[in-house]
Amino acid sequence: DVKVTQSSRYLVKRTGEKVFLECVQDMDHENMFWYRQDPGLGLRLIYFSYDVKMKEKGDIPEGYSVSREKKERFSLILESASTNQTSMYLCASCRAPGELFFGEGSRLTVL
C-alpha cells in the first residue's frame, strides 16, 4: 500500500515562528502536493512538485515556500507563521496524473 506520512499531526506555534511541515511518500511518486483545508473552502493547492528540485505555485502560495531535495520528501515551510495560517495541511502524492494519495494531515494552530 502507498503510504504518505506527515511528520506531525498537531502543531501549535506562535506568530512569527518558522514552521516546517514534512511529508514522505514510499511509492516513488513523481508528483507531490501541499493543500490546506478550511471549512467551507475545500482543499486549496499551495504548491506542487513534479520532480526533484522542481516546484510550481498553486492557488495560494503567499506566505509559504517548499523544498524537494529528494524524490520521496516534500517539505512545506512557513517562514513567519501568522494566525491566518491556522489550518489543516494535507500532503498528497501521485505517479502520473491519477489517484492522489493523501497523508493523515497536520493541524497547525498559530497563536
Partner 1 sequence: GQQVMQIPQYQHVQEGEDFTTYCNSSTTLSNIQWYKQRPGGHPVFLIQLVKSGEVKKQKRLTFQFGEAKKNSSLHITATQTTDVGTYFCAGFSGTYKYIFGTGTRLKVLA
Binding site for partner 1 (CB under 8 A): 31, 33, 35, 40-45, 48, 50, 56, 58-59, 90, 97-105
Residue whose C-alpha cell is 494519495: 101
* CB of 77 or CB of 100, closer to partner 1: 100
Is 84 within 8 Å of 36 (Cβ atoms)? Answer: no
- State the minimum distance, in angstroms, from the CB of residue 27 to partner 1: 14
- Shortest distance (Å) from residue 1 CB to partner 1: 12
**Of 91 and 110, which CB lies nearer to partner 1 in the complex structure?**
91
Measured in whole angstroms, the distance separating CA 10 from the mean position of its chain's CA atoms is 14
SS3 83: helix
Give the nearer residue to partner 1 in terms of CB position, either 32 or 78: 32
Query: What CA–CA distance (Å, rounded) separates 105 from 45?
Result: 14
